[in-house]
Structure 1
Amino acid sequence: MLKHIKVVPLAAESLGVRSMCTYVETPDVRVLLDAGVSLCPNRYGLPPHPLEYKAIIECRKRIAEAAEKADVVTVSHFHFDHHTPSYEDWLCNWTEKDETARQIYQDKTVLMKNPKEKINFSQRRRGWVFQKTGGKYAKTLEVADGKTFNFGKATKIKFSEPVPHGPEDSALGWILMATVEYENEKFMFAPDVQGPISKQTLSRIIAEKPQLIMIGGPPLYLAGFRVDEEQIREGLRSLEYVVELSPMVILEHHTLRDENWREKTTAIFEKARKVGHKVLTAAEYLGEKNTFLEAMRKRLFAEEPPPKEFEKWMRESVRAKKKAKPPI
């Protein structure tokens, strides 16, 4: 579809982890978008299954390899599935103290969400820590909110003003969307917009008119629990506009944490089919098999119970599990 912009998802829910990390390359620049990956520490009352740890190890490897090539690394917001922290954590983030983050950010141009404005308390703190730790290795560390950066002869990376992490009043704060443009081609990266639920965010996406977009869908698994069901419906309605707008949509993240996500998004796929557009997961875009491991966690523990050594590790405290790699 895009002749001059190469897009390679590296980690995502359809690849068995929480992430939207993607490598993008144009003739002018190599970009690593949101270089973070994590696992949910507790889903269905269970820690990650050994298969999830194998998946995050593989994703970390891909991210590290892409980081070696990248000129630019972006941070849309400071959740750990979107940037890599510098502390040791083998439970959720699969990070070695200092080293994992250093390998990603060292000598890079890091374009990040403003850690002081349009940000909630948790991410403000994480943003401050990032600047003192992983960010200190960067060649340049620059706030990207609302800015456009030019590279080479024809590449632009355009960042949105901060948009809500879901609904307008989201307690989760704000994120940046990014559009990589080369001549008349556009790839848009819209992490954690959750549909988008926000109509203002939808308007920004429509204004960009990307030929390819990777977007975080609404959190179906939280409907009626932590997210209002009408907001979920709004996110799904917005997705119908998005798939009608863009010839190819990579749908990822929160939506795919629901084991029945495909049935709940039937209207999205039908809308795309009617206009001759495609909706794919990151795995499908890569030509790989979907592995929705978090959504399948309860079933995985029942059908593929872990060895006794892993069960013993499961009974340790959270702090102990962060300090000791699981026996997988």
Structure 2
Amino acid sequence: MRLVPIAEESLGVRSVAMYIETGDLRILLDPGISLAPRRFGLPPHPREIIRVSELRRSLGEHLSRATHIFISHYHRDHFTVPYESIYMGTERDTYVGVYRGKVVIMKSPRDLNYSQRLRYHGLLKAIRDISRAIIYADGNTIDIGSTRVFFSESLPHGPEGSKTGRVVAVTIDDGDLRLTFMPDVQGPISERAIGYIASMEPEILVIGGPPIYLTHVFSQEEIENGIKNLLRIIDMPRLRSLIITHHTLRTLEWRSRLSEVFSRARARGVEMMTYAAMIGREEDLLEARRRELFETEPPPEGYIEQFRARGEDEE
């Protein structure tokens, strides 16, 4: 199994896009890239805008090989939207190159919240005539040659009853290696997410870690519960690699907050890493450094004004 991290917070954007190739399957997981419209009261720094463009090109290069697309849910950093956006590095027809001729395996609409349901219907309308096929992921299992792909039932986007929606995880098993990709479970916080991981027994786990910067959204107890659940995951006997992604890396202090998790991983012989580490790069947490970047590399006069009339829905 070949794993290629494409875009993620450790690479300077909001995303968890990853390309995976087995002997039978070439799939791109969550092909979205985005920037926070506001962080620290500031719009994206010019370096973030440049990074989105760079990683969009990388996404396109891997799309040329992919036969399948997986969409875990409908937050806009997880799929390519069918319209132009400076925050997502898209033009009006960018989405066509993402979905044309692909088998799109996507979260079903049955338990989406209002905003995600709107995005789902907008995406479906745009891609149903250009994709090769559309398959709902929730609870499904698909065999592609000797590769078996398992999809979880709908899971909470964070704690049970989360108002931010639902998400589907995917597990890919090529007979030699088993990987679980579980974005945006926020730790995980939910016991159902823990149960899915335990049932799949992956050797590699790509997980959306605790949202340690969102103290205005999540209680301290919920965040700490997400960290404790990472310790439980590390103790799972088959796990070899834990790849921490996404919300956790939106603060510069993330490593110190997860110090106990790192210690447990070392003791258990579990490799713990980021997307950046997987490809031998230094972490470049541009969003977490946004305030610093505006101070040390101030943009030209009038730069901020271009963002004032734009929407600020972060997810």
- Is the TM-score greater than 0.5? yes
In the other structure, the counterpart of 2:186 is: 194
In the other structure, the counterpart of 1:326 is: none
Pairwise CA distance, 1:317: 4.9
In the other structure, the counterpart of 1:84 is: 80
Pairwise CA distance, 1:28: 0.4
Matches within 5 A, 1:105-184: 105-115=99-109, 117-152=110-145, 154-184=146-176
In the other structure, the counterpart of 1:325 is: none
Pairwise CA distance, 1:320: 6.2
- Alignment root-mean-square deviation, CA: 1.4
In the other structure, the counterpart of 2:306 is: 316
In the other structure, the counterpart of 2:63 is: 67
Q: Structure 1 pair 73/318, CA: closer, same or farther in 2 (3 Å)?
A: farther
Deviations for 1:205-243, whole angstroms, at most 9, x for unmatched residues? 1111111111100110012x1111100011001111222
Deviations for 1:180-199, whole angstroms, at most 9, x for unmatched residues? 11114101100001110001
| Alignment pair present for 1:219 and 2:211 | yes
Q: Structure 1 pair 211/307, CA: closer, same or farther in 2 (3 Å)?
A: same
In the other structure, the counterpart of 2:97 is: 103
Pairwise CA distance, 1:313: 3.2
Q: Which runs of 4+ in 1 moved over 6 A?
A: none
In the other structure, the counterpart of 1:258 is: 251
Deviations for 1:144-190, whole angstroms, at most 9, x for unmatched residues? 110011112x1011100000000011001110000011114101100
Deviations for 1:22-43, whole angstroms, at most 9, x for unmatched residues? 0000000100000001000000
Secondary structure at the residue paired with 1:284?
helix
What amino acid sits opposite 2:184 in the alignment? Answer: D
Deviations for 1:116-156, whole angstroms, at most 9, x for unmatched residues? x121111111101110013432110111110011112x101
Deviations for 1:232-267, whole angstroms, at most 9, x for unmatched residues? 011001111222332101101000001211110001
Q: Percent identity?
A: 39
Structure 1: gaps spanning 5 or more residues: 323-328
| Alignment pair present for 1:13 and 2:18 | no
Q: Distance in 2 between matches of 1:317 and 1:251?
A: 31
What amino acid sits opposite 1:102 in the alignment? Answer: V
In the other structure, the counterpart of 2:89 is: 94
**Alpha-carbon contact 1:44-1:298 (below 8 Å) kept:** yes
Number of matched pairs:
310
When the two structures are superposed, what TM-score results if normalisation uses the length of structure 1? 0.92
Pairwise CA distance, 1:319: 4.3
What amino acid sits opposite 1:185 in the alignment? Answer: L
Q: Structure 1 pair 45/71, CA: closer, same or farther in 2 (3 Å)?
A: same
**Residue 208 of structure 1, aligned match among 200, 214, 217:** 200
Matches within 5 A, 1:253-292: 253-292=246-285
Structure 1 stretch displaced more, 241-250 or 120-129: 241-250
**Alpha-carbon contact 1:243-1:279 (below 8 Å) kept:** no
Name the structure with the higher helix share: 1
Structure 2: gaps spanning 5 or more residues: none
What amino acid sits opposite 1:242 in the alignment? Answer: I
Q: Distance in 1 between matches of 2:227 and 2:61?
A: 35
**Alpha-carbon contact 2:43-2:307 (below 8 Å) kept:** no
When the two structures are superposed, what TM-score results if normalisation uses the length of structure 2? 0.96
